[in-house]
Amino acid sequence: MKKVLLPLICITVVTMAFAMGFIYAKQPRLAYVNLDKVYNDFEMKKELEKKLTTVQDMRKRQLDSLELGLNILSRTLQNFEMSGNKKGLEERMPEFEMLRQEYLQKQQAFEQDNQAMTQQYSEQIWKQINQYVKDFGKNKNYTYILGGDGTGSIMYAQEGNEITADVLAYVNESYKGSGGKN
């Protein structure tokens, strides 16, 4: 009896282990990522932000210098007006108008360019983040990775299901060229 029972128990245990392993493997693997953190700590975002700030500062300096010239000329015109120097006023007025137009045009163009640049950079950043998170999910066998962005898309999740740090490390390593093999 003992001789029959022992192999039977062994077979049952092994079968159950396999079955449990199979069931576990079939279960969806779910995790969530704090997208705000990934976005803000993404190396590419930091690089582009620096680039954008440099460009915006340069543009601001250009505008400031134009504004200064405009203010000086405006004060000169006011002096002409107060002293009744009509000839001086007539002579310098077209110059003031031209400078004012140039200032306004540049201000508008810079605003539009800054906006377009911000949008373009943001699109590029998200394109890369989305790709790397997708690669991460595939490589680590996740069924779903949910993105929490602080707007209420994930209202509650167990702490153990957060993979932000892993994703961030993967995203930054992929950006630096590992080709998704990290």
Which residues contact other proteins (rule: CB under 8 A)?
Answer: 44, 47-48, 120-121, 123-125, 127-128, 131, 135, 174-181
For other proteins, which is the closer residue by CB, 124 or 143?
124
Three-state SS for 76-136 is HHHHHHHHCCHHHHHHHHHHHHHHHHHHHHHHHHHHHHHHHHHHHHHHHHHHHHHHHHHHH
Report, in Å, the least distance between residue 161 CB and other proteins.
Answer: 27
For residue 159, the 8-state DSSP code is G
Report, in Å, the least distance between residue 127 CB and other proteins.
Answer: 5
Report, in Å, the least distance between residue 175 CB and other proteins.
Answer: 6
**Dist CA 181 CA 163 (whole Å):** 18
Report, in Å, the least distance between residue 165 CB and other proteins.
Answer: 22
For other proteins, which is the closer residue by CB, 42 or 80?
42
Q: Are 168 and 38 in contact (CB under 8 A)?
A: yes
For other proteins, which is the closer residue by CB, 32 or 175?
175
For other proteins, which is the closer residue by CB, 34 or 174?
174
Q: Where are the alpha helices (DSSP H) in 31-85?
A: 35-40, 43-83
Place of tokens 């060229």: 177
